[in-house]
Amino acid sequence: MEDKKGLLAAVRKSIEFDKYLLCSDHVKKIPLVFRLIAYYLVGILMRFRPRVEPIAKEPCDILFLYISDIHKQREKSIAAHLRQKGYHCRCLVIPRLKEIFLDKIYLDANQVPFQYSLFMGFAKFIEEKFSPKIIVTFSENSKFVPFFKFCLQDKGALINIAHAIPDLRHKMLDFDYFFLFGKSSLRKFLGKKDYIIGNPKIVLTGSFLLETGNKQFLPELTKEKGLLFPSFFLSPLDPFNAFDLFDSLCVWAKLNPHRKVFIKPHPLENHSYWQDNAKKIENIIVLPKEMKLNEIIERYNIFLLITSHSNISIEVAAMGIPSVVLNPWSVDDSYLNLEVFFGKKCTNPQELSQRIEDIENRYHEYLEQAKRYAKFHLEYKTETLDIIQSHVEKIFKGQPLSGQVFTVEGLQKDEKMAASLLQQSLIPQNHAVF
């Protein structure tokens, strides 16, 4: 018999999430309304086409759920690490909602309102097919989350592993555990400035993306050097006008034909825009999405990252590469604090040229800033996969976790703890040399 109280809680959290999205200034309203209507209609249709085919069981200990094939390739190292310890792990890319409906990758979900039927039905299918004790996800904003948690209930745990510093506007965080990079991420939870659903236990693990053992790279400054520009999810619906940023980069590249800029597209975006426009400028090269960061840095002798607010700045800093901020928008620097470590943002191509020249003249100082920036954001820079594996194992066995464990509510309510953490995560004044 299903836990009615738990199911009602999952539905209530989903309704709260939708209400907040509809009221948020950070979300485009018209596309959101159309999506919500579509979810409702699909829920009605599901009642008329229930799944009758039997499910081929594939039981496992730990199920990893990814949002795309590229993310699966990037994040599969954690599952591989646990397999070496004898755990039966399975990896699955979550199908698109259209595929879930058309291919009937769902079970009966008549217990929930129509607009949540697809999410509940898929969660029940996952639990029935794989019977996992632990589900691991990599997304902080999924409508599946409360239903995954409901289907697991007392049988297991839902863990989310951060792939970036969290931006906590309208976040669905209804996990059992949330693995974060470091104390700079904890600052995002202090006070009640943002709307957060869920109260996960928070563990600091560093970044799983540093799977190379944090190999340090020192560019050969006497040879041809490259600059790396990581795209973020380029979309006309993005609240930032990313196209303005790319236009500034193109103007700068034309003014500096002797420098090569390598663009690393975001894993989820259609990078045809980059390819079409980069054809016009010889010294801008668009890289394959699947190309690994350490390979890019070594092959093209990358000595500097150009970014507005990309988390790749943390990864390259851990490898010893500094950043320069190109940001034509009137937004503050509170998300990553890039300007504190690497100097005031450049707002146009001319300022960018001057800053890059300054960086080359003071490169050793910027290398030190990169180390400090990485330390600011990462609790650990090495052996992060071992640390994550150890925590997952203990959760699997029902053992207490080592080190400090926080909760969202605790960070928001315990003023003494909040003050202590804030002090620990503050940037010492001597870290900024600009």
pTM for the whole structure: 0.89
Q: Virtual CA dihedral for 356, 360, 362, 365, nearest 10 degrees?
A: 80
> Is residue 183 included in any domain, yes or no?
yes
Give yes or no: residues 156 and 236 share one domain: no
The position carrying tokens 């919500």 is: 36
Give yes or no: residues 24 and 156 share one domain: yes
Per-residue pLDDT at 381: 86
Calculate what percentage of the chain has a pLDDT beyond 70: 89
- Which tokens belong to 323? 């950043």
Q: Of the ranges 29-38, 230-239, 422-431, which is most confident?
A: 29-38
HEC readout, the chain: CCCHHHHHHHHHHHHHHHHHHHHCCCCCHHHHHHHHHHHHHHHHHHHHCCCCCCCCCCCCCEEEEECCHHHHHHHHHHHHHHHCCCCCEEEEECCCHHHHHHCCCCCCCCCCCHHHHHHHHHHHHHHHHHCCCEEEECCCCCCCHHHHHHHHHHHCEEEEECCCCCCCCCEECCCCEEEECCHHHHHHHCCCCCCEECCCEEEECCCCCCCCCCCCCCCCCCCCCEEEEECCCCCCCCCCCHHHHHHHHHHHHHHCCCCEEEEECCCCCCCHHHHHHHCCCCCEEECCCCCCHHHHHHHCCEEEEEECCCCHHHHHHHCCCCEEEECCCCCCCCCCCHHHHHCCCECCHHHHHHHHHHHHHCHHHHHHHHHHHHHHHCCCCCCHHHHHHHHHHHHHHCCCCCCCEEEHHHHHHCHHHHHHHHHHHCCCHHHCCC
Give yes or no: residues 247 and 177 share one domain: no
Give yes or no: residues 149 and 260 share one domain: no
pLDDT in tens, 282-338: 999 999 888 888 899 999 999 999 998 889 999 999 999 999 999 887 777 888 999
The position carrying tokens 């851990």 is: 318
pLDDT in tens, 345-386: 999 999 999 999 999 999 999 999 999 999 999 999 888 888
Region at 321 (left for phi over 0; alpha for psi -120 to 50; beta for the rest): beta
Give yes or no: residues 109 and 231 share one domain: no
> Is residue 401 included in any domain, yes or no?
no
Is-contact 94 75, C-beta < 8 A? no
> Is residue 400 included in any domain, yes or no?
no
Is-contact 165 377, C-beta < 8 A? yes
Q: What is the CATH number of the domain that holds 272?
A: 3.40.50.2000
pLDDT in tens, 143-196: 999 999 999 988 899 999 998 898 776 688 999 999 999 988 888 887 655 678
Per-residue pLDDT at 237: 41
> Is residue 180 included in any domain, yes or no?
yes
Is-contact 167 187, C-beta < 8 A? no
Q: What is the mean pLDDT of residues 23-47?
A: 89
Give yes or no: residues 199 and 253 share one domain: no
Is-contact 322 359, C-beta < 8 A? yes
Domain boundary among 341, 360, 377: 377
| Structural domain count of the chain | 2
Q: What is the mean pLDDT of residues 420-426?
A: 62
Per-residue pLDDT at 421: 65
**Could you give the CA distance from residue 299 to residue 39 in angstroms, rounded to a whole number?**
46
Give yes or no: residues 163 and 16 share one domain: yes
What lies within 8 Å, CB to CB, of 217 at 6+ separation is 294, 297, 298, 302, 319, 320, 321
Give yes or no: residues 302 and 194 share one domain: no
Region at 320 (left for phi over 0; alpha for psi -120 to 50; beta for the rest): left
**Could you give the CA distance from residue 222 to residue 367 in angstroms, rounded to a whole number?**
16
Q: What is the CATH number of the domain that holds 32?
A: 3.40.50
Q: Regarding predicted confidence, which is higher, 432 or 383?
A: 383
Q: Is the pLDDT of residue 341 over 80?
A: yes
Q: What is the mean pLDDT of residues 95-106?
A: 95
Give yes or no: residues 13 and 153 share one domain: yes
Give yes or no: residues 200 and 236 share one domain: no
The position carrying tokens 């003494």 is: 416
307-338 residues labelled b (16+ CB within 10 A) or e (exposed): bbbbbbbbbbbbbbbbbbbbbbeeeeeeebbb
Point out the least confidently predicted range of 29-38, 131-140, 243-252, 363-372: 243-252
Point out the least confidently predicted range of 1-15, 66-80, 101-115, 286-300: 66-80
Per-residue pLDDT at 60: 97
**Could you give the CA distance from residue 320 to residue 372 in angstroms, rounded to a whole number?**
10
Q: Regarding predicted confidence, which is higher, 83 or 239?
A: 83
Q: Is the pLDDT of residue 222 over 70?
A: yes
Give yes or no: residues 200 and 231 share one domain: no
**Could you give the CA distance from residue 270 to residue 293 in angstroms, rounded to a whole number?**
19
Q: What is the mean pLDDT of residues 42-69?
A: 94
**Band (240; pLDDT cuts 50, 70, 90):** low
Q: Is the pLDDT of residue 130 over 50?
A: yes
Give yes or no: residues 104 and 12 share one domain: yes
Q: Regarding predicted confidence, which is higher, 258 or 240?
A: 258
Range of the domain at 269: 226-377
